[in-house]
Amino acid sequence: MSTYLILHYTSAFINLIINIFTLYVIFTRTPSNMKNVAATILNIILWNFAGNIVWGLMPFHPLFPMNCYVLQGPLAQWLYAHDFEKYGFIFIVLFFLNACVGVQLSFQFRWIQLAAPDKLKHLGRKWAYIYSAGTHIWASVLFFYLSNSMFLTPETYPDFYPAFQNVPMFCMTPDKTKFIVLVCIIVVSVFLASGVIITLVLLSYKSLYSRRYLMSISTLSCFGSGKGKARTYMWYTY
């Protein structure tokens, strides 16, 4: 077994152990009054867990200078369909993309829970699930649409090496313009998502600070005294 595969499987194993331990803590140690917060964290962990499983089973290795990736490991002995490798790679990225979407959703729900807890309780979990599912579906469809034109079969790849004719692999377009557009979209999306998260953190802090007088003295005493109470509680919330 190559050093690359050893490092890949070791990393995947460590990630899976961390995911399983986190899921165990969420399912067995979450207080009943924090189920809503735990649900948003569970959403992130499950997407990450699924991505780690597929990523662990399908180690891809780049074939430089070609923009192609070959499947290694036990599955490579049985799977030679290029579409399978392509969609396997897409699903790996898709799972981790949805984990990132889950992070943003968690900040949205935490802000709503701090700013308008009564409205959130009135709407119920059903609408929260519908909104979350819709956001995940929208992000997934958009990703499939943008990534579909980025893949080529090895036979249609320019300057493809015939030695890799029967190797389980997929190739991505060498068109630099498409890559630049895709990278720009990813960078802009990351900056927008980061901006939304920072804004939600600031709004959550503002909502918490405006409601500080509604907190009991015993609750506030757990987090210190003075102006730092709300700030400290905010750190515990996130």
Q: Please state whether 11 falls in left (phi above 0), alpha (psi between -120 and 50) or beta.
A: alpha
Q: In this predicted structure, what is the pLDDT of residue 141?
A: 92
152 beta partners: 171
| Average of per-residue pLDDT values in the chain | 80
Burial of 141 (0-12, 13-18, 19+ CB in 10 A): exposed
Residue 136 — pLDDT band, cuts 50, 70, 90? very high
Structural domains present in the chain: 1-222 (1.20.1070.10)
pLDDT higher than threshold 80 for residue 228? no
Q: In this predicted structure, what is the pLDDT of residue 35?
A: 75
| Percent of the chain's residues with pLDDT above 90 | 17
User: ∠20-24-27 over CA atoms, to 5°?
Assistant: 135
pLDDT higher than threshold 90 for residue 238? no
- Whether the CB-CB separation of 172 and 68 falls below 8 Å is answered with yes
Question: In this predicted model, what pLDDT tens digit does every residue of 66-93 receive, in sequence order?
Answer: 888 888 887 777 766 667 888 888 899 8
Reported as half-sphere exposure (CB side, CA atoms, 13 A), residue 209 has a value of 12
Q: In this predicted structure, what is the pLDDT of residue 81?
A: 60
CA 170 to CA 62: how far, in whole Å? 10
Question: In this predicted model, what pLDDT tens digit does every residue of 19-61 receive, in sequence order?
Answer: 999 899 888 888 777 777 788 889 999 999 999 999 998 898 8
Q: Lowest-pLDDT range, 39-43, 151-155, 161-165, 232-236? A: 232-236
Residue predicted with more confidence, 120 or 90: 90
Residue predicted with more confidence, 75 or 172: 172
pLDDT higher than threshold 80 for residue 115? no
Q: In this predicted structure, what is the pLDDT of residue 101?
A: 92
61 beta partners: 70
Q: In this predicted structure, what is the pLDDT of residue 68?
A: 85
Q: b/e per residue, 25-49, with b = 16+ CB within 10 A?
A: ebeeeeeeeeebbbbbbbbbbbbbb
Q: In this predicted structure, what is the pLDDT of residue 236?
A: 41
